[in-house]
Amino acid sequence: MHLCAEFFFRVKVPPPPTLEELLQFYEQNWRSAGYESTEEEANYKAYGREILTAFWEIHSRDFRMPLAVEKLFYIDVDDIKFRGFIDRVDKLESGGLSIVDYKTNKELFTADYLEKDLQLTLYQLAAEQLWQLPVEKLTLYHMRSNTPVSCPSRGQMQLNDARQLVLDVADKINQQIFPATENDYCPCDFPEHCPYYRHQYSQNAPEATDTEVPPIAIGGDEIERYASLQVQIKALQEELAVLRQEIIDYCEAEDMKRVYGTESEITYQMVDITGYNEEEVRAFLEPEGLWERVTGLDQSRLKQLLTDEAVAQDIKNRIQSLRQIISTQKRLLVKKRQNEDKET
């Protein structure tokens, strides 16, 4: 679609290509790879033809030569060389510039999306540096519906933020900090370097490693075994939960504390979980100037306070006395009939 829009507008003098020429160009540049069936490919191809026909009808009617098409730019952002391509730049009657970026997104863009779109902001930076003319209009062109969605140019603050972002990203790249972030367009053109895809792309040719002791190579067998163990564990956990409940119900109904198998015995216990009531602890610690140290009753910070030598013993005792049962858990203690304990 991008190539066709470029072909349509990249004429040396008007008129633009005829519809037949545009559709012929489309046919010649069609790529068949990536479709699941010939039927799917045919459907997409017909859909593309429809879009292009509407595109041609709209733009051939009031065709105007653009200032630039698929314009390659190199700009300087505080000594950082920044490169990109702008789909189309038009010169407006006012003398300012209009930037158009073609998009094949499914959904039409919202106003919020348009106003925050970083690509358009960077294009404005580039165009104003390149032509020394003000950008007055920014457009995302929704190819599927042939709808241009436009907004006025960015203000100075947004341009400065984008400039700063370029500098920050360049700085991180210089420091080799560029963590992969998965997104809708993955895998990109560099899957063999990406931590999310490198394994998939290197399975036939594992990379040499510089480490003295190479890690154990993980291949398809290990992955499948792990996945299958996960499934088994889940099934076992479900079975364990059902059995656990049956044993507890039995112990409670028969008023028994221990049940016996041929090799194991299981003791049924009710275990009290103790902790602190926030209101009570706060009422005590606040006047002592210690409440902030446990920030909103963080139980681990409270424990630290109790082991802090600088805190007076009577305060510690008072805190300890506030300890209370906050819940009760049922536990089954599994034991081999001779030794070794194991909790569930």
CB of 245 to ligand SF4, least distance (A): 44
Q: How far is the CB of 119 from ligand SF4 (least distance, A)?
A: 15
How far is Cα of residue 49 from the mean position of the Cα atoms in its chain?
34
CB of 192 to ligand SF4, least distance (A): 10
Nearest distance in Å: CB 184, ligand SF4: 9
Give me the phi and psi of 259, to 5 degrees please: -125, 155
Helix axis angle, 299-307 to 313-321, nearest 10° = 140
Q: What is the DSSP letter of 71?
A: E
Assess contact for 22 and 7: CB atoms under 8 A: yes
Contacts (CB under 6 A) with ligand SF4, residues 152-191: 180-183, 186-188, 190-191
52 closest CA partner among 144, 123, 124: 144
Q: Which residues contact 219 (CB under 8 A, 6 or more apart)?
A: 203
- Residue 14 DSSP SS3: coil
Build a one-symbol-per-residue string for 257-296: x at contacts with ligand SF4 by CB under 6 A, - elsewhere: ----------------------------------------
Q: Residue count at the site for ligand SF4 (CB under 6 A)?
A: 12
Q: Which is nearer to ligand SF4, 109 or 197 (CB)?
A: 197
> How many CB atoms within 10 Å of residue 314?
8
Round to whole Å and give the CA distance between 184 and 336: 53
Site string for ligand SF4, 194-233 (x = CB under 6 A): x-xx------------------------------------
Burial status of residue 27 (CB atoms within 10 A of its CB: 0-12, 13-18, 19 or more): exposed
Minimum CB–partner distance for residue 195 and ligand SF4 (Å): 7
Chain residues that interact with ligand SF4, rule: CB under 6 A: 180-183, 186-188, 190-191, 194, 196-197
